[in-house]
Structure 1
Amino acid sequence: MANETIVTVQGWVAGIPMVREVGGVPVINFRVGCTPRHFHRGSNSWVDGPTQWYGVSGWRRLATHAGSSLKQGDAVVVHGRLNHRTYVNKSGVEVLAMEIEAFTVGHDLTRGTASFTKAPSAAVPGADPGQGGASAAA
């Protein structure tokens, strides 16, 4: 993880999270919309800034758990590696897309409540403990 940009964003799930398999490995993809707010002293009110959109992907157990836990409109906190890519859209315009490869995803408990069910521990040979595998030192 040297020289990589790691971010944590707070936002809302925009659209239905989709789980699929890539080479037999589950991956979830969804978008998060984050609208920054600041207090405007002149008007004595909160003002929304422009919404920032991030594509989010998560792999393995995170994909499986998020797929059964998240739905469109949920308030979430996403922590992971920030990547960007450019592409030409259908209108012929070059677009910059910001994407987060999630290490952790959770419901934002400042915006509601949640009920957590711990998944059974299952050792995955060679898996990173942070990605759902069991640690040999545990």
Structure 2
Amino acid sequence: MNETMVTVVGNAASAVEAKKTASGHPVARLRLATTVRRYDGERGGWTDAYTSFYTVWAFRALAENLAASVVVGEPLLVRGRLRVQQGEHEGKRWTSAEIEATAVGHDLARGTSSFHRVTRVVPAGERAASP
């Protein structure tokens, strides 16, 4: 497999949009903003440079937990598969950077959080996924 795995530190730039797929599985989406900070020797301090935005996708249990745990502005760490796409629409070029999350958590360097384990009931006829 030649997947590009990344870990991105940033802030939730949008509310989590949660829904179900056609087959009934949970999916969630949010925008993650990450701003580069640079030391400005002339000013003698740190300054913001540019901000990059990523669309973060989560599926199944991660999607449900993301929707129940994250609000706009919260500091996050996101780990997952990076996918960058480019194209053209009506004469304008576009670039899209998406992360299919495998893990999402609050950035504890910038605040505190409280963990609550979720117990899920597996419907009859459906086998639980292996850890």
Q: Shift of residue 88 of structure 1? A: 4.0
Unaligned 5+ runs, structure 2:
none
- Structure 2 residue aligned with 1:66: 66
For residues 20 and 115 of structure 1, do their structure 2 counterparts lie closer, same or farther at Cα, with a shift above 3 Å needed?
Answer: same
Q: Shift of residue 122 of structure 1? A: 5.9
Which structure: greater strand fraction?
2
Deviations along 1:3-43, one digit per CA (max 9) or x if unpaired, are: 11100001111111101111211010000000011222332
Q: In percent, how many aligned pairs have the same letter?
A: 35
Range moving further from structure 2, 117-126 or 67-76: 117-126
Deviations along 1:55-112, one digit per CA (max 9) or x if unpaired, are: 00000000001110011111110000000122445x7422111000000001111111
Aligned-partner Cα distance in 1 for 2:97–2:12: 15
Secondary structure of the 1:67 match is: helix
1:125 to 120, 124, 127: 127
Structure 1 segments (4+ residues) deviating >4 Å: 121-124
Aligned-partner Cα distance in 2 for 1:126–1:86: 37
AA of the residue aligned to 1:62: L
The alignment's C-alpha RMSD in Å is: 1.9
Q: TM-score, normalized by length of structure 1? A: 0.83
Unaligned 5+ runs, structure 1:
130-138
- Structure 1 residue aligned with 2:101: 102
Q: TM-score, normalized by length of structure 2? A: 0.87
Count of paired positions: 127
